Amino acid sequence: MLIALHKNATTTPATRLALQQASGTDKELAQQYGIGVDMVRRGPDS
């Protein structure tokens, strides 16, 4: 399946799914995935 991502996209559908299933603090998850804490808090539909 080919996914067209915006050139500035910081997460992929797989990353968002992993974030939904992950446990840990927002700060820990942000560091683990290399994204901002706000992106972690934003949720899967962003």
What is the number of domains present in the chain?
A: 1
Domain limits for position 28: 13-42
Residue 40's CB is within 10 A of a number of other CB atoms, namely 21
Residues 16/44, Cβ–Cβ less than 8 Å: yes
**Residue 45: CB partners within 8 Å, gap ≥ 6?**
none
The position carrying tokens 């996914």 is: 3
> For all residues of the chain together, what is the average pLDDT?
86
Question: Which has more confidence, 17 or 2?
Answer: 17
Question: Which has more confidence, 39 or 3?
Answer: 39
pLDDT for 44 equals 63
pLDDT for 45 equals 64
Question: Is 6 contained in some domain?
Answer: no
Question: Is 4 contained in some domain?
Answer: no
Question: Is 3 contained in some domain?
Answer: no
What pLDDT digit, counting tens, does each position of 13-25 carry?
A: 888 899 999 999 9
Q: Kindly report which listed range (5-9, 30-34, 41-45) carries the lowest average pLDDT score.
A: 41-45
Question: Is 8 contained in some domain?
Answer: no
Question: Is 7 contained in some domain?
Answer: no
C-alpha to C-alpha distance for 1 and 33, rounded to whole angstroms: 23
